[in-house]
Every structure is written in C-alpha cells, then in structure tokens.
C-alpha cells in the first residue's frame, strides 16, 4: 500500500527521463509504480521523453567540456533537490508520524492511507 509520494509528481520523473538519469532496479520499479497514480497524459509525456533522443548521450557525444560541465551541474542540482526533499519528508512526515503513533494520538501511518483513508 502506498500513500502520497513526491515520486507521483510528473516533474521529477520528467527530469529523470530528460536528463537520462537511471536508478537501481528496485528504485526504478517504485518510480514506475508511482506513475500509475499520475494522469494519463503525464504518463504519456514521460514515456515520450524516455523514447526521445537522449540529452545525456548528446552531451557525451559532443566531447565539449563546457557542455558536459553544464549538464553535470544540472544533474548535481537535481540530486541536491532530491536530497533536501528526502530530508524534509523524514523530518516532517516520518518522524512526526512515528512520534504521534507512540503517543497513541493518531493511527499508525501503516494503518491509514492518504487523507486518512484505509
């Protein structure tokens, strides 16, 4: 059972597809599963980006150090965004849910879906 996730946001998966970012099989399977929660046109757009010519391959084929540095800056900035996002989720969702559960004020996150639905 999955609750709300930033992985359901099309922009994150669009950037992965456009920049040619790949993930370990388990993480990629999770991301692919999260696409099922997106609107059909968003899924189709991500598929189109995945099938389009690769920005990553283009940059590598050019052999231009300035272009490669710019591409790497984009990937690094996206990685930093993901890191901050995960830290915020841990701080404000996971830790607080665990705290509330220990205080018996709310049901465990595993007992509730998004919006408190079972």
Binding residues for heme b are 85
Are residues 112 and 118 in contact, defined by beta-carbon separation less than 8 angstroms? Answer: yes
Please give the annotated binding residues, written as ranges.
85
Query: Residue-wise over 47-80: b if at least 16 C-beta within 10 A, else e?
Result: eebeeeebeeeebeeeeeeeeeeebeeeeeeeee
């Amino acid at each position: 059972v999955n609750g709300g996730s930033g992985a359901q946001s099309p922009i994150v998966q669009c950037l992965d597809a456009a920049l040619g970012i790949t993930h370990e099989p388990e993480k990629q399977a999770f991301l692919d599963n999260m696409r099922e929660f997106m609107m059909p046109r968003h899924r189709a757009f991500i598929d189109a980006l995945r099938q389009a010519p690769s920005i990553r391959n283009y940059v590598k084929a050019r052999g231009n150090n300035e272009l490669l540095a710019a591409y790497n800056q984009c990937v690094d900035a996206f990685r930093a965004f993901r890191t901050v996002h995960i830290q915020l989720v841990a701080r404000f969702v996971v830790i607080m849910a665990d705290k509330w559960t220990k205080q018996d004020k709310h049901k465990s996150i595993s007992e509730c879906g998004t919006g408190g639905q079972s």
